[in-house]
């Protein structure tokens, strides 16, 4: 694929690079190509915090070993920032600020001229305040620079014979909460364990949205009927209640990335109407 070669050429222009590596399919592709081109001059670093499931950290470590890149872990402290835990509409800005404020000194100290992230071309079309925080700190986004979309990330990953090419997207657990609902470690663990439970039942492309004491399950629209028919709903409800939810609901529309951002569109529309 032409864009894969463009991505390789981009890394060939770098002397070395530090990759903000979450273990998601985007940052893993970046890490793979960086390792292929730069070898030992590529370093992947994963930020460990309560918003990252232990299972996802394990996967990130396993994938880094498969692609052969040097991999390190750091701790980030976004949970100590009330601008983050109060969950404003620009929450991601404070998360990425913490991440890159932690990575940049490491890059400078060790002589890495570039800090790289996994932002792809499609991400630029969505509301992603974290992208601005990364740009302000000088991070680069090779996938976006080359114009590689999410679909193309999967196509290239499959072309490279990496087994996780169809891995579901897993943004940080804080994205499961509507804006304005306070984020706590207990809430993150609750929603995280709920999603792990559903995956253990065989449902992979899912989200568990947390609305106070209510869990709202999102599945792919074509899976909803099968889910209702073939899942022991009473057992599932009891499991979610053990985790701390009082109520369990199923979103009949199905999973859509960025659905919680609809409230922003509504607020913008209402503001425009009020100003007329």
Q: Which has the closest alpha carbon to 117: 225, 245, 132?
A: 132
Contact 103, 79 (CB under 8 A): no
Please provide residue 100's backbone torsions phi and psi, each rounded to the nearest 5 degrees: -75, -25
Residues found in the chain: 276
Region of poorest pLDDT, from 181-185, 191-195, 240-244, 253-257: 253-257
Alpha-carbon gap, residue 188 to 200, rounded angstroms: 18
Mean pLDDT in residue range 69-82: 97
Q: Which has the closest alpha carbon to 53: 179, 197, 177?
A: 197
Alpha-carbon gap, residue 83 to 96, rounded angstroms: 12
Alpha-carbon gap, residue 79 to 253, rounded angstroms: 32
Query: Model confidence at 169, in pLDDT bands (50, 70, 90)?
Result: confident
- Asked if pLDDT for residue 257 goes beyond 90, the answer is no
The CATH architecture that domain 2-159 belongs to is: 3-Layer(aba) Sandwich (3.40)
Report the mean per-residue pLDDT for the chain.
92
All CATH 3.40.50.620 domain ranges in the chain, comma separated: 2-159
All CATH 3.30.300 domain ranges in the chain, comma separated: 173-261
105-128 per-residue burial string, b: 16 or more CB within 10 A, e: under 16? eebeeeebebbbbbbbbbbeeeeb
Enter the tokens of residue 75: 């701790």
Q: Is the domain 173-261 a CATH 1.10.287 member?
A: no
Enter the tokens of residue 39: 């070898």
């Amino acid at each position: 694929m032409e864009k894969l070669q463009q991505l390789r050429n981009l890394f060939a222009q770098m002397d070395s690079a530090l990759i903000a590596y979450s273990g998601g399919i985007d940052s893993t592709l970046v890490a793979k190509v960086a390792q292929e081109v730069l070898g030992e001059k590529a370093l992947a670093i994963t930020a460990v915090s309560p918003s990252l499931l232990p299972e996802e950290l394990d996967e990130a470590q396993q994938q880094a070993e498969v692609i052969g890149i040097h991999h390190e872990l750091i701790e980030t402290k976004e949970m100590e920032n009330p601008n983050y835990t109060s969950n404003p509409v620009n929450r991601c800005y404070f998360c990425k600020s913490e991440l890159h404020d932690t990575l940049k000194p490491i890059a400078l100290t060790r002589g890495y001229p570039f800090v790289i992230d996994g932002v792809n071309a499609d991400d630029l079309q969505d509301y992603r305040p974290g992208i601005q925080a990364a740009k302000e700190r000088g991070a680069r986004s090779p996938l976006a620079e080359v114009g590689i979309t999410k679909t193309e990330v999967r196509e290239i990953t499959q072309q490279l014979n990496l087994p996780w090419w169809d891995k579901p997207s897993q943004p940080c657990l804080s994205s499961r909460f509507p804006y304005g609902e306070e984020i706590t470690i207990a809430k993150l663990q609750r929603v995280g364990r709920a999603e792990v439970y559903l995956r253990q039942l065989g449902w992979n492309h899912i989200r568990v949205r947390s609305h106070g004491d209510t869990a709202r399950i999102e599945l792919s629209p074509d899976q909803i009927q099968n889910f209702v028919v073939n899942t022991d709903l009473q057992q599932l409800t009891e499991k979610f209640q053990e985790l701390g939810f009082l109520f369990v609901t199923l979103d009949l529309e199905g999973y859509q990335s960025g659905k919680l951002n609809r409230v922003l569109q509504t607020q913008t529309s209402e503001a425009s109407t009020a100003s007329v």
